[in-house]
Structure 1
Amino acid sequence: MDRYAKELIVSTGEYADVNGVNLYYESHGSGSPLILLHGGLGSGEMFGPILGTLAAHHRVILVDLQGHGRTADIDRPIDVRLMADDIGALIDHLGLDRPDLVGYSLGGGVALHTAVKYPEKAGKLVSAAANIRRDAIPPEMLAQQVQVNAAAAEFLKDTPMYELYHRVAPQPENFPLLLDKLGAAMAVDFDFSEDVRGLQVPTLIIAADADMAPPSHYVEIFKLLNGGLRDGGWMGEGRPRGGHALAILPGLTHYNLADSPLFAAVTLDFLGK
């Protein structure tokens, strides 16, 4: 995590009091707006290695989600649908004109639900490494997720997630509480298939070829968007309507996708079309 801090473009962050949460965000670069959302137990700093690349083409609004990074927790569960309301309110607060939404893991779910709930506020959507069904995760990984709770805090003290939280969080003593909330969120069964079917904005689904869920799951998501069901055609006439796309990135895992130059390149290519 130290390399994230070193490579992050220096910027003065601000707070937006929206939807009952005092949301921390930073703005980097210029151009069409892009809201960038991090994964669980992380913060915007996890995008440090690729932030400069993205900010060379867009005004990147880097957000710390509820209870993460520099955003204090509130009396509310960790739920991607509730956090989507935070992002919808932030768009209004900043007066953004249909920003693109790019999220990874937890942030990918938040970005997706922001686009689902507020299609009139969103440009394009990039949802990376965000499974839409709990049972898409292999049983051995679900067993590990069950162990995410306050009692695990002691065992995580030597990890980058713990170091980041204690370095930037307004209330660093709340790390066990965040683990409890994330563990509770991951224990709840969910299926967002119908939400995906209802997406009204051009959407890119991204996954690593060795992600937490298998590549086949992300192919299933693409099929919900009418993708991968027919030959694309010489002129692309068989591609899914709505501009949807799928990218399985080679040589990556769930844990290094967010800072990969390949992730940045594919995202910029999709947003630029």
Structure 2
Amino acid sequence: MVGVTNTDWTAETTGTGGYADVNGINLYYETYGTGRPMILLHGGLGSGEMFGPILPQLAAAHQVIAVDLQGHGRTADIDRPITLDAMAADIAALIDHLGLDHPDVVGYSLGGGVAMHVAANHPDKVRRMVMASAFLKTEAVYPDLRAQQGQVNAAAAAFMVDTPMYQLYQKVAPRPEDFPRLLDKVGAFMANEFDFTEKVRSLTVPTMVAGADADQVPPSEFMRIFELLDGGHRDGGWMGEGRPQGGHALAIVPGVTHYSLFSSPLFATMVLSFLDD
């Protein structure tokens, strides 16, 4: 759920920043636009600023709350491992802290896993959910990439100084010297075997499964998630009567990779189409 990219992460619109003291963590978030609330969750080693190129599109008719997850961006790390359950609990607490009424939750990569866990663990707090570039099982990731992910640790910091992840972290983090610590924690997170089959089966919140057509896993992996949500088992019907029960959807974004999906206007269009349906 982590990768190196040269995409420009500069935000193209201005938001209002703030901190929320929830679950023992001082969680940073920025708010853009007005309208129905949408919580936006970034990928590993990134921050809310990853979505800079599409923030104007998303915020045109929505109140977008872009969160910096534990140890990322402007949110300082705390003494606990990085886990999806813990970060999902942070987001649930943030929803209460901000008094949001059933916001939509949109997550990419690591943030997609967090979004899944928010919707599964706290379904009463979420209206709709998008999980983009998030996977069911560890072995779904291409073997050569798994080998690279196994090398993510503090020692890799020296080799990442030219990446946007490192440069943004040095610019905004409360403790820039913590970057090696973040690499250690993210590396430990990725080293854990996982299987979210039952977690996905438990989803009751209308969910869009999304991925790039050249992602970290084959496109068929996103179809497998969709199938667990009653998708792909029958003809949809003239009136949509055969679509998945629960309002779930699938989107494979063409012409992008795992490392450009989050800045794709087409991805933003698909997200908005699902949320505003």
Note whether the superposition's TM-score is higher than 0.5.
yes
Paired residues of 2:7 and 2:260 also in contact (CA < 8 A): no
Q: Alignment identity in percent?
A: 65
Structure 1 CA distance, aligned partners of 2:218 and 2:229? 18
Secondary structure of the residue aligned to 1:157 is coil
Q: Does 1:34 align with 2:34?
A: no
Structure 2 CA distance, aligned partners of 1:176 and 1:258? 24
Specify the alignment match of 2:263 in structure 1. 259
Q: Does 1:80 align with 2:87?
A: no
Q: Does 1:171 align with 2:179?
A: no
Structure 1 residues 80-229: aligned runs within 5 Å: 80-229=84-233
Structure 2 CA distance, aligned partners of 1:130 and 1:2? 20
Q: TM-score, normalised by structure 1?
A: 0.98
Structure 2 CA distance, aligned partners of 1:12 and 1:265? 24
CA positional deviation for 1:2: 8.4
Specify the alignment match of 1:56 in structure 2. 60
For residues 63-105 of structure 1, give each alpha carbon's deviation from its aligned partner in whole angstroms, at most 9, with x where no partner exists. Answer: 0000000000001111111100000000000000000000000
Paired residues of 1:115 and 1:125 also in contact (CA < 8 A): yes
Q: State which of 48, 51, 59 in structure 2 corresponds to 1:47.
A: 51
Structure 1 CA distance, aligned partners of 2:260 and 2:204? 29
CA positional deviation for 1:149: 0.4
Structure 2 CA distance, aligned partners of 1:10 and 1:246? 31
Structure 2 CA distance, aligned partners of 1:243 and 1:196? 14
CA positional deviation for 1:132: 1.9
Q: State which of 1, 4, 26 in structure 1 corresponds to 2:9.
A: 4
CA positional deviation for 1:4: 2.6
Structure 1 gaps of 5+ residues are none
Secondary structure of the residue aligned to 1:258 is helix
Secondary structure of the residue aligned to 1:13 is strand
Structure 1 CA distance, aligned partners of 2:39 and 2:134? 16
CA positional deviation for 1:159: 0.9
Letter in 1 for 2:134: A
Q: TM-score, normalised by structure 2?
A: 0.97
Letter in 2 for 1:134: T
Paired residues of 1:101 and 1:122 also in contact (CA < 8 A): yes
CA positional deviation for 1:141: 0.9
Paired residues of 1:8 and 1:45 also in contact (CA < 8 A): no
Secondary structure of the residue aligned to 1:236 is coil
Letter in 1 for 2:9: Y
CA positional deviation for 1:57: 1.3
Specify the alignment match of 1:20 in structure 2. 24
Structure 2 CA distance, aligned partners of 1:272 and 1:201? 15
Paired residues of 2:8 and 2:164 also in contact (CA < 8 A): no
Question: Alpha carbon RMSD of aligned pairs, Å?
Answer: 1.0
Letter in 2 for 1:154: A
Q: State which of 205, 227, 243 in structure 2 corresponds to 1:239.
A: 243
Kindly report structure 1 stretches of 4+ aligned residues shifted beyond 6 Å.
none
CA pair 2-143 structure 1, distance change in 2 beyond 3 A? closer
Letter in 2 for 1:106: L
Paired residues of 2:16 and 2:32 also in contact (CA < 8 A): no
Paired residues of 2:9 and 2:164 also in contact (CA < 8 A): no
Structure 1 CA distance, aligned partners of 2:110 and 2:7? 21
Letter in 2 for 1:4: W
